[in-house]
Amino acid sequence: MSDWEALGRKLLAFAFVIVLTIFWGVPVAAIGSFSNVSYLAKKYTWLAWLDRLSETQLGLLTGLVPALLLSLLQSLVPRFYRYIARQSGAVTLSHVELRTQTYFFVFSLIQVFLVTTFSSGLTAVIGQIALEPSSAPTLLAENLPKASNFYISYFVLYGIAISAVQVFNPLGLFWNEILPRIWPYSTPRESFIKYVALDTPGYGSECAKWTNLAVIAISYSCIAPLVLGFATVGFVFIYLAMRYNFFYVFSTEIDTKGAFYAQALQQLTVGIYIAELCLIGLFSTRVTGDVSANGPLILMVVLFSLTIVYQYLMRETLTPLTELLPRNLLAETEADYESRLSSDSASSSNSPDGSNKKDRKNRNKNRPDDEASSQYPRTQPLLAPDHAARSGRAQHRAGSMHHPARINDLYGHEKYKKVKDNFQRWFAPHSQSPAALASTLHPSLREPVPPYPEAIAKLAFVNPVVTREPPTLWIVRDEMRISEREIGEARREVDGLDVRDDGAWLDEKNVVQWEKERLREMPLWHGRVVY
């Protein structure tokens, strides 16, 4: 795929997302019409048969059916946007989720926030803005405060309801506990994989959903500050529920190295823009009757311009860290590694009698094999806070001519002041060097990551289709020993085929069972390497 084709796909996909998001109200309105079937039956003669339904059937049609259809329709949005992200030229799962985060955030912002805010309907508002763009702040000023009471209850109810659903996990309960009792698994492999696999959340849609809630809270922070308190309560419940799920329920299959967080930070500025536009609209409506509103109006215009500049600088700062490997870190690692090698060679040349060999052997006793770890540059151990800060400044002054880049360059500080007390440590963290900040972490986070074994390191970037061993066929053992005959015939027909019936059997109801207590001894168990 050429660069022009990738750019064209990306632009077409985003344009399609915008059009789809704006006109998403058409199917939603069609589903909502089910709640007023009596009017439709009288309005259109071909729907007159709806009046002949019983009260029970009519109640289900007007109450339950619209809710189920709307829930099903909303659940298809993230899946559809992921498909668009794949077609737009995203080459990895991480890029697909990042683009899904952008698309779903646009959808949530328009359909969840703006459509609810503008009581006259989004299409009419867009028409007014298209005819007179300068009316956008006034429309925001007129419609945004009206919905503040709705969002006060929305944050609390949404936070409590979503957190309860996340902890209770009804879908997981249905798929893993209820459905297998109704429709048992047909093979041991299917049962085993379902038992050991954890749910993987859609990070793109999840991050966009919570970012949109934060944008709503920021938008009301100036004109209805009470919303912030209720938003805090809602976010606390959501945080506790999601924290529990990420620790014990979810499995992480996609690692973007913080790109979701960086993109969400940039999307939060949309809330600042909406709040500033609303204040500009409020002040502009008072300019003609009150001269004192001129000063705040000019101030808000200046702040709006500064927000644009701030977002541009933030984007320019975060883009190299999320899309490229920081060369400063690589240069410092290589420089430290070369200096350590030169110091080791110098120390060995200064001890011809071999007196230091025993000390070096004792120091390296617990290190991994040199042959397995030689391809990984060893990490310099972290020092105590004060000593690390002094050592970092001394090395920076003494070795600035030799080292092309330092890790401190990423933070834009030329010097770091010594931390004098805990107050400065908490309220002025920028005054510490990265080494001093790292030394305050938990010991498990300060230790260097141990190198991978040589066999795993060599195959880390090889396609699993090439490196993966042939799959094991796992069948159930039966009392008539048919499984033993099948295993013998399969091994005679296919040389080297691994067929087993260990630990699986059929119970009295002919339901597949296997020994869950001996999970790691089952034929399909494979240790997972966390890269």
What is the DSSP code string of 297-323?
HHHHHHHHHHHHHHHHHHHHHHHHHHH
Q: How far is it, in rounded angstroms, from Cα 105 to Cα 377?
A: 40
Q: DSSP string covering 460-480, please?
A: TTS-HHHHSPPPPEE--B-TT
Q: How far is it, in rounded angstroms, from Cα 249 to Cα 101?
A: 22
What mean pLDDT do residues 249-268 have?
87
Are residues 105 and 220 located together in one domain of the fold? yes
Beta strand 504-506 pairing with 473-474: unpaired
Q: What is the pLDDT of residue 383?
A: 38
Q: How far is it, in rounded angstroms, from Cα 356 to Cα 361?
A: 9
307, pLDDT greater than 90: yes
Are residues 21 and 129 located together in one domain of the fold? no
266, pLDDT greater than 60: yes
Q: 271 falls in which pLDDT band (50, 70, 90)? A: very high
Are residues 202 and 331 located together in one domain of the fold? yes
Q: Decide which of 299 and 408 is more confident.
A: 299
Are residues 25 and 113 located together in one domain of the fold? no
Are residues 423 and 507 located together in one domain of the fold? no
Number of residues assigned to the chain? 531
Q: How many structural domains is the chain composed of?
A: 4
> Would you call 513 helix, strand, or coil by DSSP?
strand
* The domain boundary residue, chosen from 447, 478, 497: 447
Q: Decide which of 335 and 464 is more confident.
A: 464
* The domain boundary residue, chosen from 302, 335, 368: 335
Q: How far is it, in rounded angstroms, from Cα 204 to Cα 224?
A: 30
What mean pLDDT do residues 157-176 have?
85
Are residues 388 and 303 located together in one domain of the fold? no
For 478, the domain range is 464-521
Number of Cβ atoms within 10 Å of the Cβ of 197: 10
Residue 355: phi and psi, rounded to 5, are -70, -25
498, two tokens? 């691994």
Helices (H), 377-498: 385-399, 422-427, 434-438, 443-446, 454-458, 464-467, 482-493
Q: 344 falls in which pLDDT band (50, 70, 90)? A: low
> Would you call 504 helix, strand, or coil by DSSP?
strand
What is the end-to-end Cα distance of the chain in Å, rounded? 29
Assess if residue 360 is contained within a domain. Answer: no
Q: Decide which of 392 and 174 is more confident.
A: 174
Assess if residue 255 is contained within a domain. Answer: yes
119, pLDDT greater than 60: no
Q: What is the pLDDT of residue 272?
A: 93
Burial-class residue 465 by CB neighbours within 10 Å (0-12, 13-18, 19+). exposed
**With contact defined as beta carbons under 8 Å apart, do 281 and 139 qualify?**
yes
Q: How far is it, in rounded angstroms, from Cα 326 to Cα 312?
A: 20
Are residues 414 and 517 located together in one domain of the fold? no
Please list the residues that pair with 506 across neighbouring strands. 512
* The domain boundary residue, chosen from 392, 421, 447: 447
What is the CB-side half-sphere exposure of residue 292 using CA atoms within 13 A? 0
3-22 and 122-131 helices, crossing angle to 10° = 120
Q: Decide which of 101 and 469 is more confident.
A: 101
68, pLDDT greater than 80: no
Tell me which of 221-235, 278-292, 307-321 is least confident: 278-292
Q: What is the pLDDT of residue 372?
A: 41
126, pLDDT greater than 70: no
What mean pLDDT do residues 7-21 have?
87
Assess if residue 368 is contained within a domain. Answer: no
Are residues 83 and 112 located together in one domain of the fold? no
Q: 127 falls in which pLDDT band (50, 70, 90)? A: low
Tell me which of 7-11, 398-402, 492-496 is least confident: 398-402
Task: Work out the mean pLDDT of the chain and round it to a whole number.
Answer: 74
Q: What is the pLDDT of residue 7?
A: 85
- Tokens 């030394």 belong to 439
- Tokens 């328009």 belong to 110
Instruction: Name the residue type at position 71.
Output: S
Q: What is the pLDDT of residue 425?
A: 60
306, pLDDT greater than 90: yes
| Residues 411-439 as b or e (16 or more Cβ within 10 Å = b) | eeeeebeebeeeeebeeeeebbbbbbbbb
Assess if residue 359 is contained within a domain. Answer: no
Are residues 84 and 106 located together in one domain of the fold? no
- Tokens 């010594």 belong to 418
Are residues 305 and 397 located together in one domain of the fold? no
Assess if residue 456 is contained within a domain. Answer: no
| Residues 29-67 as b or e (16 or more Cβ within 10 Å = b) | eebeebeebeeebeeeeeeeebeeeeeeebeeebeeebe
416, pLDDT greater than 70: no
Burial-class residue 307 by CB neighbours within 10 Å (0-12, 13-18, 19+). middle
Are residues 407 and 295 located together in one domain of the fold? no
Are residues 87 and 97 located together in one domain of the fold? no
253, pLDDT greater than 90: no
How far, in Å, are 60, 64, 72, 165, 213 from residue 67 at the CA level?
10, 5, 9, 17, 22
Assess if residue 375 is contained within a domain. Answer: no
Taking alpha carbons only, the member of 364, 530, 368, 531 closest to residue 454 is 368
Assess if residue 147 is contained within a domain. Answer: yes
Residue 300: phi and psi, rounded to 5, are -70, -35
User: Which of 22-36, 52-66, 187-201, 208-222 has the highest average model confidence (pLDDT)?
Assistant: 208-222
Q: What is the pLDDT of residue 363?
A: 44
Assess if residue 342 is contained within a domain. Answer: no
Burial-class residue 521 by CB neighbours within 10 Å (0-12, 13-18, 19+). exposed
